[in-house]
Amino acid sequence: MDYLLNLVRRHKAGEPVGIHAVCSAHPLVIEAAMETALERGQPVLIEATSNQVNQDGGYTGMTPAAFREFVYGIADRVGLARERILLGGDHLGPNAWQSQSADAAMAKSEVLIDQYVTAGFRKIHLDCSMSCAGDPVPLPDAVVAERAARLCVVAERAWQAAGGEAPVYVVGTEVPVPGGAHEDLEHLSVTTPAAAALTIEVHRQAFAAAGLEAVWPRVIGLVVQPGVEFDHHKVIDYQPQRALALSRFIEGQPTLVYEAHSTDYQTASNLAALVAGHFAILKVGPGLTFALRETLWALADIEEQMTGAGQGSDFKNTVLEVMRAEPEYWRKYYGGDAASARFDQQYSLSDRIRYYWPHPAIQAAQARLMANLEHEAPPLTLLSQYLPAQYEAVREGRIRNLPADLLKEGVAKVLRQYMDACDAGAATKELETC
């Protein structure tokens, strides 16, 4: 975590540097992130959420230790040294157990934190902002901070037992909902400097009360709302003038930068402006799997053009039939009639389809799609028609005309926008001095 601590120091010294966090468990997304990191000579920050990965397996079926080995296995295959991988835990707290009492949920959260830190995760987002059964709504800032400090005690104890680098922490009470908004975006408010100051102060006091004064300098990030969000079909773009007072406020905090969630689908110039405004940690997740889905859909269209309708993998229909038969991950998000739901299943920016990629039937159809396009490479004319960015990359010799390469390039073009916004050149120099 020296890399992150040094990056924050450089940012606080006036350099507009930052880092993006890849919040995805999809192997092709992680592989693309590692390959782009190799391109730029950078480390890669991979984060898992408490819903994805926890002591019960989460929706990925992986514990923190299993997720670490999953990530390391991809790194070994790609050729990225393990020491260049930064592992982070996102929304670590009672998020997965909100239906239970606070006592029960916090007890599970302590196990969660212990397992993440013991497994080697060292960027820890302490998120106790959600109300549990019987809690007031919203939860008072002081209660959020007290619970975060309680989990920090567990994290410090786990680190000291496991050894290695000390963890760094991210805190905050104005935490966006994981995976995109579900409310009216027209009334999205930017966090006020007063609210940010209160959040910092109550956390500082809670840390002191828990005997964590020496840990406070390792609290590097504060989650606030900079005025960015997305829902199913709309993106709220960053407007620096709306967040100007908030940006200026953090300049007076010597060890803190902002962590911005829900930056998915922001333009390249917006991402750069966020970093310049001291939102130096940019989280991205659904935007990457959305790019992956776009590319898969295009490959399926290419396959159909090459083989004729009904002669190929039938990939799209397979995915949509699985989603129709097993609506657990989208039913409460997508309303309207069957046609509207089918449209959102494919094209919603909230990208609920990402939960279905591991399904055995979908994996089998995807394997057939990939095999068909490996057996007979797509003609350049169809690449130009359906995947123009990949067409250019193939023509320039940057990638091969293979389906896996085409898929990863779809993700990589999004990741490069984040790298450019975070000033990759400056970050590389910093890595070399760690």
Give me the pLDDT at residue 430, please.
Answer: 43
Helix then strand then coil, % of the chain, to nearest 5? 55, 10, 35
Find the mean pLDDT for residues 410-434: 73
CB atoms within 10 A of CB 398: 13
The pLDDT, as a whole number, for residue 184 is 60
Tokens of 93: 């707290």
**What does the pLDDT average to over 400-409?**
98
Tokens of 185: 């975006």
Residue 65 CA to residue 76 CA, distance in Å, equals 16
In 3D space, the residue among 232, 234, 228 whose CA is nearest the CA of residue 263 turns out to be 228
Residues 6+ apart with CB under 8 A from 73: none
The 10s digit of each residue's pLDDT in 241-272 is 999 999 999 999 999 999 999 999 999 999 99
Q: What is the pLDDT of residue 177?
A: 56
Give domain limits for the chain: 2-287+413-433, 290-410
Q: What kind of architecture, by CATH, is found in domain 290-410?
A: Orthogonal Bundle (1.10)
Radius of gyration for the alpha carbons in the chain, expressed in angstroms and rounded: 22
| Between residues 64 and 180, the one the model is more confident about | 64
Task: Reply yes or no on whether the pLDDT at 223 is more than 80.
Answer: yes
What is the DSSP code (8-state) at residue 52? T
121-152 residue pLDDT tens? 999 999 999 999 999 999 999 999 999 999 99
Domain 2-287+413-433 coded CATH 3.30.420.40: no
Q: Which residues lie below 8 Å from residue 103, measured CB to CB, with a gap of 6+?
A: none
Q: Is the confidence at residue 76, as pLDDT, over 60?
A: yes
pLDDT at 183 over 60: no
State residue 176's pLDDT score: 64
pLDDT at 433 exceeding the cut of 90: no
Q: What percent of the chain has pLDDT over 70?
A: 95
pLDDT of amino acid 329: 94
pLDDT above 60 for 426: no
Q: 434 falls in which pLDDT band (50, 70, 90)?
A: very low
Taking Cα atoms as reference points, which of 346, 371, 361 lies closest to residue 289? 346
- State what percent of residues in the chain have pLDDT above 90: 92
pTM above 0.85, yes or no: yes
Q: What is the pLDDT of residues 279-338, one digit of tens each?
A: 999 999 999 999 999 999 999 999 999 998 778 999 999 999 999 999 999 999 998 899
Cβ 290 vs Cβ 413: under 8 Å? no
Q: Is the pLDDT of residue 427 over 80?
A: no
Angle, alpha carbons 322-325-331 (nearest 5°):
100
Q: How far is CA 308 from CA 301, 305, 319, 343, in A?
A: 10, 6, 19, 23
